[in-house]
Amino acid sequence: MSTVPTVADRVTDLVRALRTHGVRIGTGESVDAARAVAELGLDNREHLREGLASALLHDQGQRAVFDPVFELYFPRGIGAPGRPGDGFDRDELRERLAEALAANDRAALAGLAAEAVDGLGGYGSTPGSDGYSAHQTLDRLRPQTLLARVMAGSGSAASGAFTDRIAADEVRARIEDFRELVRAEARRRVAERRGTDEIARRMAVRTADRADFLYAGKAQLAELRRAVHPLARKLATRLAARRRRAARGHIDLRRTLRGSLSTGGVPMRPVLRRRRPARPELVLLCDVSGSVAGFANFTMLLVQALHDQFSKVRVFAFVNRIDEVTGLLEHGTADPDGLGARITAEAAITGWHGSSDYGTALGEFVERYEAAVGPRTTVFVLGDARNNQQNPNVPSLRRIARTARRTYWLNPEPTSLWDTGDSAAGVYGDVVPMYECRNARQLSALVGRLLPV
């Protein structure tokens, strides 16, 4: 980079980078952001960050995208304070890190992160192939192994006070913060070398509702679980609005024509179809095997939160045997994190082996629970349709689809992967409509569209 970018450039670049990560920003907001920068000046980075966030963002979920992008475009000073170079002492750094963690000194931690990346994160020697790696830094530094030492050093460990019980968790959270600092620092350094735009584009940050169910990390899944209730409220409003509209009804063609006989076949008075007031019933069949459990759990929680929209909701979980878990969900509202574990522990969902077998599970469902499905039921099957080369047992699915009012299959895999390897997506997709459902955004769109009124 030969020229130093102006503030206006930086703001527009920042906006562009945010847009590529799915944050919708209009021109008006960009202008506000620039005015904010003008008002705040560049002296205080913290103020600048909060000011830009307030002008550009519209909800808190976008902060996860904003913060790392901001780090790239408005970096903390360039380079590290002092260069340890070859004489870098890892143990000495660990010592200081332990002290800073014990004291919970954010400023010192940020400095240490810079030093660590400087001393431990560099790789390659020729220009063009060299860079900095957060992974390598953390691998060599191993901050997580400092837990015991920090606990001992903070002095509270032996005091016998009540707060000792939470001390370990606090230190763990601080270590995680430090790891994040290291990652940001490494990103920033790479950005210095490769050009900010390139890094911003490749950076793997996503708002939680766009995170892939199959690859979402633990933190993202936890965030999604917290999103269940707001999302359910939103969907409930949408469903209620649709129900209101639908109550006004469609034209009943047969009765309109019948009525038009007296006016010589001219339909003077349209007759509206009367609606049956019953609320729909819902049955979920969820694959809860390891690979797709995050998706299934999230969907179960969502449906559970929507339960007052239905007259009856029944949820069945399977890996290769199927069992009803409706009861587990009901008193599981307080502890969504443990839901998966409880299902595994309390329901009979695996038989002789631990891998998914859709054919057997569907067969068993028809055999044991066929009464759950009736002409008012909508059935959702949740799973990746990876059958481990077993018999897909299509007749069972066809039978369910015939009895139910509607049957849909939601598949958390991208469409491009369907029918590859052991996937039976195509076979099942011929029987019931199958939809790609990779993230919370897609799921809420699908649920809003597919749920019966």
Partner 1 sequence: MFASVDDVTARLAETGYLASPAVATTVFLAARLGKPLLVEGPAGVGKTELAKAVAAITDARLVRLQCYEGVDESRALYEWNHAKQLLRITAGRDETWDRTRSDIFSEEYLLTRPLLTSIRGTDPKVLLVDEMDKADVEVEGLLLEVLSDFQVTVPELGTITAERRPFVVLTSNASRELSEALRRRCLFLHIDFPDAELERRIVALKVPGLDAVLAESLVRVVGALRAMDLRKAPSVAETVDWARTLLALGADRLDEEVVRQSLGVVLKHQEDVRTAAAKLDLDAV
Q: Which 44-63 residues touch partner 1, going by CB under 8 A?
A: 44, 46-47, 50-51, 53-55, 57-60, 63
Region of 37-45, 121-129, 258-266, 371-379 interacting with partner 1 (CB under 8 A): 37-45
Q: Which of 127, 162, 264, 416 binds partner 1 (CB under 8 A)?
A: 162
Pair 285, 318: CB distance under 8 Å: yes
Q: Which 373-392 residues touch partner 1, going by CB under 8 A?
A: none
Region of 147-155, 227-235, 273-281, 389-397 interacting with partner 1 (CB under 8 A): 227-235
Here's the x/- map for partner 1, 334-353, by CB under 8 A: it reads as xxxx----------------
Which residues have CB under 8 Å from 322's CB, separation 6+? 285, 316, 349, 361, 362, 364, 365, 368, 369
Nearer to partner 1, 18 or 431 (CB): 18
Which residues have CB under 8 Å from 133's CB, separation 6+? 121, 123, 186
Shortest reach from residue 276's CB to partner 1, in Å: 28
**Terminal Cα distance for the chain, rounded:** 57
Here's the x/- map for partner 1, 254-273, by CB under 8 A: it reads as --------------------
Which residues have CB under 8 Å from 207's CB, separation 6+? 21, 22, 23, 61, 62, 64, 65
* Number of neighbours of residue 114 by Cβ within 10 angstroms: 23
Shortest reach from residue 37's CB to partner 1, in Å: 10
Pair 322, 369: CB distance under 8 Å: yes
Convert 390-410 into a string of H (helix), E (strand) and C (coil): CCCCHHHHHHHHHHCCEEEEE
Nearer to partner 1, 3 or 163 (CB): 163
Does 27 bind partner 1 (CB under 8 A)? Our answer is: no
Shortest reach from residue 175's CB to partner 1, in Å: 14
Does 198 bind partner 1 (CB under 8 A)? Our answer is: no
d(CA 381, CA 316): 10
Which H helix or E strand runs over 451? none
Shortest reach from residue 250's CB to partner 1, in Å: 25
Pair 412, 188: CB distance under 8 Å: no
What 3-state class would DSSP assign to 285?
Answer: strand
Nearer to partner 1, 92 or 335 (CB): 335
Nearer to partner 1, 308 or 335 (CB): 335
CA distances to 270, 286, 310 from 326, rounded to whole Å, are 44, 11, 14
- Residue 205: name the closest of 184, 229, 222, 189 by CA: 184
Does 36 bind partner 1 (CB under 8 A)? Our answer is: yes
Does 275 bind partner 1 (CB under 8 A)? Our answer is: no
Q: Which 77-116 residues touch partner 1, going by CB under 8 A?
A: 104
Binding site for partner 1 (CB under 8 A): 26, 28-29, 32, 35-36, 39-40, 44, 46-47, 50-51, 53-55, 57-60, 63, 104, 161-163, 165-166, 169-170, 173, 230, 233-234, 237, 334-337
